[in-house]
Amino acid sequence: MHKPIVPHIFEITKRLRKEYKDFAHYNKKNPLDELVFMLCSVKRSEKVYLNAFRTLKRAFPKYKMLADTPVRKVSQIIAWGGLQNQKAMAVKAIIRTLIKKFGKPTLAPLKKMSDEECEQFLSSLPGVGKKVARCVMLYSLKRRVFPVDTHCWRVANRVGWNKKTCNSENCSVKDMDFLQELIPPTIRFSLHVNMVSHGRKICTARSPKCKACAITRYCSKIGL
């Protein structure tokens, strides 16, 4: 049974779409590019992770080149903003896993999988959690899922959609599933990308710009 739709969800979606035009934040059509791109983005600013991904692609135009490259060298190449060692190890391990599974570094076989199978496979890869898995599914595989990042969780919390007030960092796997189930599949892409934009520009963690907010009339301002 579907959960009741949360109050004003379609009005909020419409207003955010008008404000941010469904901007997709430089995400990638190729699912493996998107996966690596998302790993580069973890705990980094937009400028930093864009540079990290571009540098990596220039150094390794073919992903199979990463399979036998020492982690230290990969780490040096993506040394933008920290965590480069963990990310280098994860990317290298993923490439090796895909070559072993599919014969080459590709995520194309996921296109034939169900949503459940696709998410399960992606989440089994080194360093890949539910948010990253669903970003790959949403942006590159055109699946109707709703990735919950720090901005989506913050905005949803403040408008009163979440079960309780909590920090974005404490958003659990169950919380992500709960919020996804509240959102009708037809608006998940638009609402996700525009909530990310809104969280970055207006509904920031500190000193949100409520007077400039396009959805302030629908906001319960929980936690403010």
With a cut of 70, say whether residue 71 has pLDDT above it: yes
Residues 96 and 162 both lie in one domain: no
- 134, 146 contact by CB (below 8 A): yes
- 215, 159 contact by CB (below 8 A): yes
- Going by C-alpha positions, the residue among 55, 74, 128 that lies closest to residue 97 is 128
For 75, the 3-state DSSP assignment is helix
CA distance 146 to 143: 9
**173 CB contacts (<8 Å, ≥6 apart)?**
130
Among 140, 159, 193, residue at a domain's last position: 140
Residues 36 and 136 both lie in one domain: yes
Structural domain count, the chain: 2
Residues 135 and 37 both lie in one domain: yes
Residues 109 and 167 both lie in one domain: no
Residues 156 and 198 both lie in one domain: yes
Element (H, E) at 173: helix 173-182
Residues 57 and 90 both lie in one domain: yes
Residues 41 and 90 both lie in one domain: yes
Residues 193 and 103 both lie in one domain: no
- What percent of the chain clears pLDDT 90, i.e. is strictly above it? 68
Residue 26: the pLDDT is 86
Phi first, then psi, for residue 164 (nearest 5°) are -160, 160
Least confident range from 38-52, 97-111, 130-144: namely 38-52
Residue 169: the pLDDT is 53
Establish if 171 belongs to a structural domain.
Answer: yes
CA distance 43 to 48: 10
Assign 82 a pLDDT band (cuts: 50, 70, 90): low
Least confident range from 39-43, 52-56, 122-126: namely 39-43
Average pLDDT rounded to a whole number, residues 50-75: 90
CA distance 46 to 40: 10
Residue type for position 143: R
- Going by C-alpha positions, the residue among 64, 59, 54 that lies closest to residue 26 is 54
Assign 167 a pLDDT band (cuts: 50, 70, 90): low
CA atoms within 13 A on the CB side of 31: 23
CA distance 4 to 114: 25
Establish if 2 belongs to a structural domain.
Answer: no
Residues 131 and 82 both lie in one domain: yes
Residue 1: the pLDDT is 40
Terminal Cα-to-Cα distance of the chain (whole angstroms): 33
Tens-place pLDDT, residues 121-132: 999 999 999 999
Structure tokens at 10: 């379609």
Among 103, 125, 140, residue at a domain's last position: 140
Tens-place pLDDT, residues 111-163: 999 999 999 999 999 999 999 999 999 999 999 999 999 999 999 999 999 86
Residues 118 and 39 both lie in one domain: yes
Structure tokens at 209: 């710009």
CATH number, residue 180: 1.10.1670.10
Q: Which of 4-18, 53-67, 95-109: highest mean pLDDT?
A: 95-109
Residues 204 and 154 both lie in one domain: yes
Tell me which residue range forms the domain holding 92: 31-140
Assign 85 a pLDDT band (cuts: 50, 70, 90): confident
Among 77, 107, 140, residue at a domain's last position: 140
Put simply, whether the predicted model's pTM sits higher than 0.75 gets the answer yes
Residues 123 and 45 both lie in one domain: yes
